[in-house]
Structure 1
Amino acid sequence: MSKPDWTQAFRLEATELLETLEGALLDLCERPDDRDLVDSAFRALHTIKGSGAMFGFERVAAFTHEFETAFDKVRKGEISPTRELITVALSAKDYIRSLIESPDGTDAIIGDAILDDLRKFVAPAEPHEASAVPPPSAPPVAAAAAAESGAAAVGWRLHLEFESHILRNGSNPLNFLDDLSKLGPCFAVALTDEIPLLDALDPEECYLKWDVTLHSDCSREVIDDIFMFVIDEMVLSVTPLAQSELPAADQHPTTAPDVNVSTAPTAPSRSPASHSPPSISSPSEPRRDEQKRGDDRATATVRVQARRLDEMMDRVGELVIAQARLSQLAATSSDPSVKLIAEEIERLAGSLRDTTMGARMVPIGSVFGRFRRLVHDLSLELSKPVDLVTSGEDTELDKTMIECLADPLVHLIRNAIDHGIEATAARAAAGKTEKGRIELHAVHSGAQVLVTVRDNGAGLNTARIRAKAEEQGLIAPGAELPDADIHQFMFHPGFSTAQTISALSGRGVGMDVVKRTIETMRGSIDLSTRPGEGTTVTLRLPLTLAIIEGLLIRVGDARYIIPLSAVEECVELTAEDQRARGRHFLNIRGDLVPYLMLRDILQSTVSPDTYQKTIIVSTGETRVGLVADQIIGNHQTVIKSLSKLHSDVTIFSGATILGDGTAALILDVAQLVGLAQAHADKHHLNEAA
């Protein structure tokens, strides 16, 4: 059995922590007084530092320690988290990521420059020390005050019991004792009564407990912060020292010594005070309740490699195909037991398919969170204050769809900020708010997910788009086209209305990439705009790319699959419609719908059936009829990608294997709708001529 890759485990954990850190920093831009956000950022830094040191990422630990030391000023309320400070902190977060992903390829000079910028904000007059630990000659404030006034110092008595596996998790109890000693004079007694005989001793188990006396005026919260990351793995009892236990001022040390650890050989040597019940209960105590543990087990999660989920999905797909073949054989069998077994396997295969697909579903919020940083950086770069508002983060998509969706959304958001949102002066002249607004919304709609990007900018400049299209020869000068068709030229390769080429725009590749990527995902794009009010782009995406429900049809001798999510209804092609084939339009309850004869497109040489059927499909607001010889019925479709040899065949999005072992091609509805639209436009031009 292969050993686990602990460095990879650290990288995965660090990625989540860095996302938490980035989210907290961006939220601090809007809520600088939110103490919980500051604590969240600090906890993420502290965990990255500790884990980095444990797994051998020394540069990560050293840099994060400096970052944490600087940010501690914010935590203590000594400085405010201004936007300028947050910008530098975000750069520091990016540097930590680069140190983790490419330790040898990251320039240390960049890290030093970032730390210098941090120090300018948080400690301009202080020397650049590598450690935040006060020098030994500096006594605690309370101790110095007590020594001068003759009053008694304040303090705490602690009892520490760590779970036996604490060492395996990379935590060292002595480090926590060392942290306590930094708060003031600290005296610790190790309790050794539970240490087993040598032959039974496990070197990876922690058998010691500690009684600690701490002379410090610190608050209980400061002590809790030291143990915040192991509080679920220990019992912590904290009680104030009794007045009689407090040292007199003339006996109080004038320096803060290192922790003194003495060993108690047996349990009876413990002082009676150590057995007294604590007057202040630790937050860890209710967490150790058995009922709580049961709840944790019920909601526990396991990290699984994406490759294994993909392999499982492939196996489920093969099972679905085998089950379809079994059902077809059972339908021709006269043995009722065979039919019963086939039905049972069909039920189990369906349940396994749904469970496996559910395991691959990921909340779309995991990709939405990335764009907060993008908007923050572009807002600063273009000097356009912009707010990003997200909703529907809990909407789930297949993880493959999530991975493919990131780049199109980046292009749409960049376009919205660069081209859509006006400059501050222009917004003021138009009577708009100073800040622009971009809304990112996701919602389930039947078997699809709709992802909407909406801005409150100036809207699309239809005249400029038309002029650019005429300049590139995409349309004839003066040709009459509806605005919606003119706007579609934005998705043409190499099309851009930018006046100059910049780092953000001008080369005409962004929206073309968006369209090609969305169509590869079997999705479609709707675009609407209102001059002076903004633009809305809606992406219509299927829930998954692995297994879909399809409509099985026959054209000639061949069978094809149409994704069921695109099918609206099925009607019969009448003799009157066939006589009017030159018009290529159907009258569907008063609406004219263009249609395509699939046998013509697929070049079928078999005689057509007497009664042909029309399947009405739609993408966005466009409806098209597809004429086939027969509608066979619903089919659970396992999508198989076509080979590179078929890359030039655009009307098919993949293939599947039917129950009898033969293959059926899956029709690409978006391409067919575009083809029908082109035929309809040609018909309009011929009539106009």
Structure 2
Amino acid sequence: MSSPDWTESFRQESSELLETLEGALLDLCDQPDDRELIDCAFRALHTIKGSGSMFGFDKVANFTHEFETAFDRVRKGEIPPTRELITVALAAKDYIRALIEAPDSTDQIIGDGILDDLRRFVAPSSEQETASPQPAASPVAADEDTNDDTDLAGWRLHLEFESHILRNGSNPLHLLDDLCKLGPCFAVALIDDVPLLDALDPEECYLKWDVTLHSACSRDIIDDIFMFVIDEMTLTVTPLTRRELSPAALTPTPKTPAPRTAIADPTPPPAPKEAERAQEPRREEPKRSDDRGIATVRVQARRLDEMMDRVGELVIAQARLSQLASASSDPSIKIIAEEIERLAGSLRDTTMGARMVPIGSLFGRFRRLVHDLSLELSKPVDLITSGEDTELDKTMIECLADPLVHLIRNAIDHGIEQTAVRNAAGKTDKGRIELHAIHSGAQVLVTVRDNGAGLNTARIRAKAEELGLLSTDAELPDADIHQFLFHPGFSTAQTISALSGRGVGMDVVKRTIENMRGSIDMATRPGEGTTVTLRLPLTLAIIEGLMIRVGEGRYIIPLSAVEECVELTADDQRARGRNFLNIRGDLVPFLMLRDMLYATGAPDEYQKTIIVSTGETRVGLVADQIIGSHQTVIKSLSKLHSDVTIFSGATILGDGTAALILDVAQLVTLAQAHADKQHLNEAA
């Protein structure tokens, strides 16, 4: 059995902490007085520093310590978290990520420059004290400058850890080292509970500690050191006042452990309010046992993919068993086949559920993108997200990231106007980008909407004519003209910038979405903004399909695209030259699949029409027979079939034969082209 890769575990944990840190910093831009956000950012920094030191990432630990020290003034309320300071803090976060991912190739000069900027923003007078933490001054020396003998001069601590703390990766000695950084610290290990050697478990923690800390730091600073192990220990803290101090109190305790009663000093009567809070065991909040009951396990994505493949094979085998059982007269085989079908379906749903990820994990990445572009282009822009709990297959999440980046960049660069232009149009100073996700049947709709100027249809048409994509006398609706934006190399930008202007991006967006078996809808209102809607399937692994027969071949249509099934009447067949169906008053173009698939043999007497849709477009597909619903395990086609556009994949049927999966989006596009051609012929 291979040992776990602790370095990779640290990188994964740090990635999540850096996302938390970035989210807290971005929220502070709008809520600078929110103490919880400041504490959240500080906790993330503290954890990265401790974990980096534990796993040998010394550069990460040292840089994060300096970052944490500078940011501590914000935490103490001494300086406000201004937007300029947040911008530098975000750059420091990016540098920490670079140190973690490529520690040897990261330029230290850049890191030193970021730290200098941080120190400059937290005030010039603090540069010396934030550059390197100094031990606290001697309590006796401090007493010479004050006449108040009851001033706080230190703390007594009693530490008792749960026995399993070492197994969780925590090291009490590192916590004691952190205490020593606050000032002179004398610790005595209590060995009363250490068993004899034959009963000693090296993974158990048997020691307890009594600690005397000579530092006038606040109780909160001590609490921060034990922040992440407080649920696995008992911490008792008692204030130590200057009245108690004597030369003997500053003498280090001998290394030989003394009995516990020998080191206990008489406790002075502290101030009432301080005593009430300080003498309480550090377990004011009950253990969150409910949270531990819903524990999570980190699993490699590769293993989930392998599990999904095995479930797919099981579904295929179950379909074959059901087909054999249906042909058998033995009732016991039928019962077993039904039970296995139920279990396979349950396992399929559970496995697919394990792969589902809230899309909010993707939306959160774009907050930084909008923040940086807003500063770079001098366009104040707010990002508003909704539907973050909408779940999508993790593979879909990964594939969706780049298309959304392109859409958001284009919306800010081309859609959102400059502040002066917005004011002249009677709009607010700030632009707005909205990201929204919602389930719609077996699909997820992801919408990117801006409140900018909208698309310039005349400019798009002129560019299409210039490139020879459209004749000057052609009549096209605006929606079709807007589709030229997805043509490779197409751009209406008058100048080329670092962000856009070369016509690369929107064609990649369309190709990526179509490879995910999705589609793109675009709507715009001049002067009000543009809305781009991505229609995506829930998963790329297993879908519910409708099996049909065309000639001797069987094909699968994704059930999510099917609206209804109707019979092709004699009148419809006589009107084949028009290729339109009358569905309750609406004219719907239809395609004869027999002609497209070159089916052999005579057609069935009563053919069926399956009405499918993508977006607002409906098309009828005429087949010989509708066989029924089918759990479809999607298998990708080989590269040899990459030019066959009307199929999106294949599946294995219960009898071991293959069936091709029809690409509804491509069929709808083809039907529209046929309808437009027929309309032009009739007009001529």
TM-score range, shorter chain: over 0.9
Q: Which residue of 1 aligns with 2:62?
A: 62
When residues 3 and 586 of structure 1 are mapped into structure 2, their CA distance, relative to the original with a 3 A threshold, is same
- Deviation (angstroms), 1:666: 0.1
- Does the Cα contact within 8 Å between 2:234 and 2:282 map onto a contact in 1? no
Structure 1 unpaired stretches of 5+: none
- The answer to whether structure 1 residue 235 and structure 2 residue 230 are counterparts is no
Q: How does 1:432-471 map to 2 (within 5 A)?
A: 432-471=427-466
Q: How does 1:246-325 map to 2 (within 5 A)?
A: 246-248=241-243, 251=246, 264-267=257-260, 269=262, 271=264, 280-284=279-283, 286-288=285-287, 292-293=288-289, 295-325=290-320
Q: Deviations over 1:87-114 (max 9, x none)?
A: 1111111111111111222222222222
Q: Which residue of 1 aligns with 2:355?
A: 360
Q: Deviations over 1:309-362 (max 9, x none)?
A: 000000000000000000000001000000000000000000000000000000
Q: Secondary structure at the match of 1:104?
A: coil
TM-score by length of 2: 0.94
- Does the Cα contact within 8 Å between 2:320 and 2:656 map onto a contact in 1? yes
Q: Which residue of 2 aligns with 1:102?
A: 102
**Matched residues in 2 for 1:558 and 1:261: separation?**
89
Q: How does 1:444-523 map to 2 (within 5 A)?
A: 444-523=439-518
- Does the Cα contact within 8 Å between 2:74 and 2:81 map onto a contact in 1? yes
The total of aligned residue pairs comes to 676
Q: Deviations over 1:453-473 (max 9, x none)?
A: 010001111111111111112
Q: Secondary structure at the match of 1:45?
A: helix
- Deviation (angstroms), 1:158: 2.4
Q: Secondary structure at the match of 1:513?
A: helix
When residues 186 and 356 of structure 1 are mapped into structure 2, their CA distance, relative to the original with a 3 A threshold, is same
- Does the Cα contact within 8 Å between 1:239 and 1:278 map onto a contact in 2? no
- Deviation (angstroms), 1:123: 4.1
**Matched residues in 1 for 2:244 and 2:556: separation?**
88
Q: Which portions of structure 1, spanning 4 or more consecutive aligned residues, are displaced by more than 6 angstroms?
A: 256-259, 276-279
**Matched residues in 2 for 1:433 and 1:247: separation?**
59
More displaced, 265-274 or 484-493? 265-274
**Matched residues in 1 for 2:185 and 2:62: separation?**
27
- The answer to whether structure 1 residue 635 and structure 2 residue 630 are counterparts is yes
**Matched residues in 1 for 2:172 and 2:233: separation?**
10
% identity of equivalent residues: 80
- Deviation (angstroms), 1:615: 0.4
**Matched residues in 1 for 2:246 and 2:280: separation?**
30
More displaced, 405-414 or 54-63? 54-63
Name the Cα RMSD after superposition: 2.4
- Does the Cα contact within 8 Å between 2:119 and 2:130 map onto a contact in 1? no
Q: Secondary structure at the match of 1:148?
A: coil
Q: Which residue of 2 aligns with 1:153?
A: 151
Q: How does 1:152-191 map to 2 (within 5 A)?
A: 152-154=150-152, 155-183=154-182, 186-191=185-190
- Deviation (angstroms), 1:182: 4.8
When residues 81 and 261 of structure 1 are mapped into structure 2, their CA distance, relative to the original with a 3 A threshold, is farther
Q: Deviations over 1:488-513 (max 9, x none)?
A: 11111111111111111111121111
- The answer to whether structure 1 residue 537 and structure 2 residue 535 are counterparts is no
Q: Which residue of 2 aligns with 1:40?
A: 40
**Matched residues in 2 for 1:383 and 1:644: separation?**
46
**Matched residues in 1 for 2:648 and 2:583: separation?**
28
**Matched residues in 1 for 2:251 and 2:648: separation?**
70
**Matched residues in 1 for 2:396 and 2:254: separation?**
57
| Equivalent position amino acid for 1:148 in 2 | T
When residues 133 and 202 of structure 1 are mapped into structure 2, their CA distance, relative to the original with a 3 A threshold, is farther
- Does the Cα contact within 8 Å between 1:143 and 1:252 map onto a contact in 2? no
- Which of 142, 145, 148 in structure 2 is aligned with 1:144? 142
| Equivalent position amino acid for 1:342 in 2 | A
Q: Deviations over 1:200-236 (max 9, x none)?
A: 4444433221223445554432321221121122111
Structure 2 unpaired stretches of 5+: 270-274
- The answer to whether structure 1 residue 392 and structure 2 residue 387 are counterparts is yes
Q: Which residue of 1 aligns with 2:272?
A: none
**Matched residues in 1 for 2:176 and 2:228: separation?**
14
When residues 420 and 150 of structure 1 are mapped into structure 2, their CA distance, relative to the original with a 3 A threshold, is closer
More displaced, 198-207 or 85-94? 198-207
Q: Deviations over 1:262-310 (max 9, x none)?
A: 6544455464979x9986434536434xxx43x2342101000000000
**Matched residues in 1 for 2:560 and 2:640: separation?**
28
Q: Deviations over 1:172-200 (max 9, x none)?
A: 43443344455555443321111222344
- The answer to whether structure 1 residue 596 and structure 2 residue 594 are counterparts is no
Q: Which residue of 2 aligns with 1:118?
A: 118
